[in-house]
């Protein structure tokens, strides 16, 4: 059962919450990066999450048609086949879908899973993200309500981002400013709209200074302790026990975070952490090294013929896979999911 069933995905999240660890959610754009993610999880004895953005799906769909749904379905079906060879369990997720792409991405994918479930099968994806951070909170939550009803029916978990994450992710851009911090009032409004599980489980991407992409130390002020304030505020308002954690939090913009910041986030209810920038670099860096070291082999320089062994995509592709897999292993160690796979 390498691809989690809906029941197992819920168990994975429950185990992470109880054990104070989180699953690395690795963005993939191709069969090769998907294998790298699976390899990293397997080498770390960690379950995990593999996710596809709208841009990643468009890329996987081929540059002739650039069809996002085709790319996402192809990668998901590929994962269902090849993951059987890896001794870990993974969930499939779609990442960052803004409002203008819902009809061309998440809603069609939901329809596919709805048909699968009606036929007695499991959904194609285990969770989908609605990124309404560019909308007003009222509009954001209105769409989230509609999507939550559909995801529940399709045995899928919804992820929502209620306030902005800074930087840029597949065309969704936010400035780095004070709006990058979710308030207790934002959390209350979210619960009023989506409930605390009685309407369906959802993952919450709250903002505590997170920024997508690459940034230097000091440019971003992360406050993972803010997640504790959000949990405490909701627990107090809704009569939950002191110290309870009503939310399943997602850590966005996790690349470049310090071990201390990650540890604080885990203690405060983060069960999923998105990693893309660091794994992109880890995939590309060995390729760049290979090209520089084998310049006259990968190119036909000065009338020579080059070296087929050096420009064969399998040669540098294996290096890329190994580099990315190693970074995934590191992520599992940072997030404490290494060695925590479901037996």
CA distance 232 to 220: 25
Q: Which two tokens stand for residue 214?
A: 């690459």
Those residues whose C-beta lies under 8 Å from the C-beta of residue 148, and which sit 6 or more positions away, are: 158, 194, 199, 200, 202
Q: Which two tokens stand for residue 317?
A: 């592709």
CA distance 195 to 203: 12
- Which of 131, 53, 127 has its CA nearest to residue 90? 127
DSSP run (H or E) holding 24: strand 23-27
Phi, psi of 249 (to 5 degrees): -90, 150
- Kindly report the number of other CB atoms within 10 A of residue 76's CB atom: 25
Tell me if 111 sits within 8 A of 143, measured CB to CB: no
Can 278 be counted among the known catalytic residues?
A: no
Those residues whose C-beta lies under 8 Å from the C-beta of residue 308, and which sit 6 or more positions away, are: none
Q: Which neighbouring-strand residues pair with 39?
A: none
Q: Which two tokens stand for residue 135?
A: 């909308």
The burial class, CB within 10 Å (0-12 / 13-18 / 19+), for 78 is middle
CA distance 160 to 195: 13
Catalytic residue among 47, 95, 276, 278: 95
Those residues whose C-beta lies under 8 Å from the C-beta of residue 313, and which sit 6 or more positions away, are: none
Residues with catalytic function: 95
């Amino acid at each position: 059962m390498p691809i989690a069933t809906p029941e197992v995905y819920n168990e994975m999240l429950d185990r992470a919450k109880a054990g104070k660890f989180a699953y690395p959610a690795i963005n993939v754009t191709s069969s090769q990066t998907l294998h790298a993610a699976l390899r990293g999880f397997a080498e770390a004895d960690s379950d995990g999450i593999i996710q596809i953005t709208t841009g990643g799906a468009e890329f996987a769909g081929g540059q002739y048609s650039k069809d996002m749904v085709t790319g996402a379905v192809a990668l998901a079906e590929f994962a269902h086949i090849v993951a059987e060879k890896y001794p870990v369990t993974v969930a499939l997720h779609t990442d960052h879908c803004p409002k203008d792409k819902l009809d061309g991405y998440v809603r069609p994918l939901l329809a596919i899973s709805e048909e699968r479930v009606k036929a007695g099968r499991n959904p194609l994806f285990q969770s989908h993200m609605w990124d309404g951070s560019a909308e007003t909170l009222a509009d954001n939550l209105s769409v989230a309500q509609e999507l939550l009803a559909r995801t529940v029916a399709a045995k899928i978990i919804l992820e929502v981002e209620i306030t902005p994450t800074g930087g840029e992710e597949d065309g969704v851009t936010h400035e780095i400013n004070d709006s990058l911090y979710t308030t207790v009032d934002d959390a209350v409004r979210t619960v009023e709209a989506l409930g605390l599980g009685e309407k369906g489980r959802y993952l919450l991407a709250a903002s505590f200074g997170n920024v997508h992409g690459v940034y230097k130390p000091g440019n971003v002020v992360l406050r993972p302790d803010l997640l504790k304030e959000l949990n405490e505020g909701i627990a107090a308002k809704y009569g939950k026990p002191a110290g309870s954690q009503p939310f399943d939090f997602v850590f966005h913009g996790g690349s470049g975070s310090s071990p201390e910041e990650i540890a604080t986030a885990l203690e405060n209810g983060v069960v999923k952490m998105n990693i893309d920038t660091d794994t992109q670099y880890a995939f590309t860096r060995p390729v760049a090294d290979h090209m520089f070291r084998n310049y006259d082999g990968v190119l036909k320089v000065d009338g020579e013929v080059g070296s087929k062994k050096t420009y064969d995509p399998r040669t540098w592709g294996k290096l890329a896979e190994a580099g990315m897999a190693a970074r995934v292993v590191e992520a599992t160690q940072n997030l404490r999911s290494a060695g925590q796979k479901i037996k």
